[in-house]
Structure 1
């Protein structure tokens, strides 16, 4: 079964071609975010206590997990997936070491952007919310609300 899924997954979970990027971007544009082709976030997949280095797999919520990073389009269809880091690893580190980050440098996203939460670093092709330390103006708050709704 695993061999079958490994062979099938690249045809299901795949980065959009240019025509698909145009459709995705148009849908995000209609929701107030032009230039976006996806939303990225991390998720914890619960696992049993591993035999090797179990402390590395305890996440901030206190259970054993591995990290899953996914990028979804406007329909919430997964277009990129990276799985395997221990649960204690922060989203920003998972991203920094992901194939997506490496290919992003080779224009996988250009000229588009991904929406992310504050667990990700603000980068050339990754938009994150303004840090709210109690001094955001109306425009910054509005941006954060729209970003959150679109993520």
Structure 2
């Protein structure tokens, strides 16, 4: 949500374009990063239960909320948009009996930043800076709509 405040006598109406949703499967780099086994010592029982619930709803490939966040207890289909990337890891990618978290290049793509957008050297800093950011196309659409309405 964005608040657009004006001193005009009458409210302005913003004409924002409708954009197609992009499935998260399009940004996942399936064969680039290291995956870990789902069933390994130290894995939280709550995480395993969320993964099991997600499998029941989406099959063997889906996103699971991590640390009790995200889409409730069942996860999200990879055929839908991911939702919010926050400043810390909140989504695990589940593929069969493996899982991993999103990597900075995937979050950058999911947020709509170009590949040329330079990220910090550490993964943690990159995720922190990308998380909760305003997607460039959203900022552009909003500013263009304000200019048109002014």
> What TM-score do the two structures reach when normalised by structure 2?
0.23
> What TM-score do the two structures reach when normalised by structure 1?
0.23
Pick the structure with more strand per residue. 1
Q: Which has the higher contact order (CA 8 A, sep 6+)?
A: 2
